[in-house]
Amino acid sequence: KAGVTQTPRYLIKTRGQQVTLSCSPISGHRSVSWYQQTPGQGLQFLFEYFSETQRNKGNFPGRFSGRQFSNSRSEMNVSTLELGDSALYLCASSLGGSNTDTQYFGPGTRLTVL
């Protein structure tokens, strides 16, 4: 099976702009979770989607949003970008039927905000 894929791999934006990142899960996986990885804060949970519904949410401001499509592909959007949003954004997919399902990570999107 193909692994989790993310596009684009790299993005450079300026403050105030918005950005959309995409994640395609492993075939058959219905859950997609998003994480922000920074050197200072480590891996922080953003949100989880399952069957097109947000099932879980982390402690991020409303500028961070997401959605999931009927084919389980997911997008996350960050509006009004700030310098502190520069990070590696990782998505992970799992079967989604249990909270002990293994999560498989994508390669990430490196976002730089200037």
Partner 1 sequence: GENVEQHPSTLSVQEGDSAVIKCTYSDSASNYFPWYKQELGKRPQLIIDIRSNVGEKKDQRIAVTLNKTAKHFSLHITETQPEDSAVYFCAATLRGIQGAQKLVFGQGTRLTINP
User: Site for partner 1 (CB under 8 A): which residue of 38, 77, 99, 112?
Assistant: 99
Interacting span for partner 1 (CB under 8 A) from 10-18, 62-70, 74-82, 99-107 = 99-107
d(CA 49, CA 84) in angstroms, rounded, equals 24
The reply to whether 97 sits near partner 1 by the rule CB under 8 A is yes
- 3 state SS of 19: strand
Is residue 12 a contact partner of residue 114, using CB atoms and an 8 Å limit?
yes
DSSP, collapsed to helix, strand or coil, labels residue 84 as helix
At its nearest, how many Å lie between partner 1 and the CB of residue 28? 15
72 binds partner 1 (CB under 8 A): no
CB atoms within 10 A of CB 20: 15
| Residue 74 interacts with partner 1 (CB under 8 A): yes or no | no
Residue 109 as a binder of partner 1 (CB under 8 A): the answer is no
Tokens 């996350």 belong to which residue? 76
User: Of 106, 109, 111, 113, which lies in the binding site for partner 1, with binding defined by CB under 8 A?
Assistant: 106
